[in-house]
Amino acid sequence: MWKLSKEHKDIELRKAFVNTVDELMQENEKVVVFEADLGGASGTLALQKKYGKRYIQAGISEANMVGMAGGISIKGYIPFIHTFAPFTTRRALDQIFIAGAYQGNTINIWGSDPGFYAAANGGTHSTYDDISVMRAIPNTIVLAPCDSVQFEWCIKEVAKLKGVHYIRANRKANPKIYEEGSTFELGKGNVIREGNDVVIYSMGGLLIHALEAASELEKHGISCEVIDMFSIKPFDTELAINSAKDKKIAVTFENHNVIGGLGSQIAEIIADNHICTKLIRIGVENRFGQVGDAEDQRKEYNLTSENIHTKVLENISR
């Protein structure tokens, strides 16, 4: 099982992707990599040099890449594809739906730099809607790892399974949350901090900021539980119910539109199960992406520990 890391130094997630897929390719000749002209950005050019024809450069033709990946899976191949998150989930959506999920084919997708991580690449490369799109497709798996340890586990786990699997993760390093060798479970969230008054649900690169907010709120005598909901689909409904029903406030905190993402999932569960806990959804408020430094954009969209802190203090009943 998982253990929390004692230090927050991590490797770049793109390095974790290349190292993990390299390991899978060594073990199984059926593992194949597709790239959409971003081998330099993702680091996968190292796999092209090492594996030759098992690395397919599709160029800036994402829909064709998805179709090819679904097609070779019919013959027993295990395709991993990469491009920036909006180009998998928006530009190639029909191919993911038809050539992948509808036909029961296998496509393992890394959608990189979701949300504000698009940074200087701008609004065209930003996606605050990929979770809402991908979780709406039947039989998909949608994952949002927070660090290289969890990312590695996600890659190895989906390699064992058939179907369409979407992993959203930035390319550069996040603060490390989990110890090396930690293992996880699809459909299960991880309570990484216990608390009695407030529960904060988060995932991906924002998880560290959720922990920071919990530490600050503790100074005000407010006990916060923090849950890593990296498995967006399948989702840990039971944990969501049990953690919300006895709290004063539930908070969702995500690098995604508040519409259709983690906030929507928790809202649906709370409503369906008649839970009276007040819900605060913190995410991007129905806006497009923009050009700018990733950290500056994170603050622009109020995806900060300070915003969690303020919202909780404004809404909690003593």
pLDDT at residue 1, as a whole number: 84
SS3 82: strand
pLDDT in tens, 175-226: 999 999 999 999 999 999 999 999 999 999 999 999 999 999 999 999 999 9
CA-derived radius of gyration, the chain? 19
Residues in the chain with pLDDT values less than 70:
318
pLDDT at residue 8, as a whole number: 84
Instruction: Give 53's Cβ-side CA count (13 Å radius).
Output: 2
Residues facing residue 62 across a β-bridge = none
Q: Where does residue 110 rank: exposed (0-12), middle (13-18), buried (19+ CB within 10 A)?
A: buried
pLDDT at residue 318, as a whole number: 57
Contacts of 265 (CB under 8 A, 6+ apart): 135, 232, 235, 240
Q: Which pTM value belongs to this model? A: 0.96
